[in-house]
Amino acid sequence: MEINKVRIQDIPEEERPRERLIRNGPESLSNAELLGIILRTGSKEENVVSLCSRILSEYSIKQLSLATVSRLMKVHGIGTAKAAQIAAVFELARRLETFAEEPKRKICSPKDVYALMYPKMREQKKEKFITLYLDTKNQILKEEVVSIGSLNASIVHPREVFKSALLESSASVIMVHNHPSGDPSPSREDIMVTEKMVEGGKLLGIDVLDHIIIGDGRYISLKDEGFVR
């Protein structure tokens, strides 16, 4: 049987391009093998890697990246779907070249937290507990809803708050929740949850900087109230 007609599934599993990519990383594959993973299937005449080797013998990577869908469809073995796949992957590569991350928002005070969160929380009919995960410069790495509903120590557990903190390598966290009644005065449960989180953070080496309670047009910082130390 000709090599180009050998089906990928007939190749020993450990030698297949996708399995090698998973095991050794994409840099271990040839251009033809990488393109083959994108296209997935060949034709009746040749397997996908042979098809891609032939394409790359006719086109350089640069030429292939600039080819239109209609031009790609003139290559033997390339139909509409494969042409669209090739065009899409090169367009993603072009967009990556100009991609720039937006600057992370920095938190310097409880007022900053209020300005960020109040527009999102003022219309909420239920209590929503949100954690902001910060880096060493107090820039927000992630914002996550931890729970929705009445706040109590059994629902908002430290593991739910600090799980993402560990995954994000956060230096600190700020907890935020709303009072639909409009009055941000802390309840007994609010204080208990805050103290529980502060203790959990100390065990993990992650600072709990504050717990902000948002009401109707106003807020209370439990740090300012002396409950976060």
- Residue 165 is encoded by which pair of tokens? 């903190």
Percent of the chain with pLDDT over 70: 93
Tokens 């779907």, residue located? 81
**pLDDT score recorded for residue 124:** 85
Q: What is the pLDDT of residues 127-183, one digit of tens each?
A: 999 999 999 999 999 999 998 876 554 467 888 899 999 999 999 999 999 999 999
Which amino acid type is present at position 221?
S
Name the more confident of 45 and 183: 183
Q: How far is CA 156 from CA 139, 151, 189, 196, 199, in A?
A: 24, 7, 10, 10, 14
Dihedral angle, C-alpha 104, 170, 214, 187, nearest 10 °: 180
Q: What is the pLDDT of residues 19-29, one digit of tens each?
A: 999 999 999 99
Q: What is the pLDDT of residues 88-137, one digit of tens each?
A: 999 999 988 887 777 889 999 999 999 999 998 888 888 999 999 999 99
CA nearest to 72, candidates 39, 47, 30: 39
Which amino acid type is present at position 92?
L
Q: What is the pLDDT of residues 68-86, one digit of tens each?
A: 999 999 999 999 999 999 9
Please determine, for residue 1, whether its predicted confidence score (pLDDT) is greater than 50. Answer: no
Average pLDDT for the chain: 90
Is-contact 32 61, C-beta < 8 A? no
Q: How far is CA 224 from CA 55, 83, 97, 209, 227, in A?
A: 66, 61, 45, 11, 8
Band of residue 39 on the pLDDT scale cut at 50, 70, 90: very high
Dihedral angle, C-alpha 57, 62, 68, 69, nearest 10 °: 60
> What is the number of alpha carbons within 13 Å of residue 134 lying toward its C-beta?
20
CA nearest to 177, candidates 199, 144, 203, 204: 144
CA nearest to 178, candidates 222, 125, 105: 125
Give just the sign of the alpha carbon dihedral 15, 54, 75, 43: negative
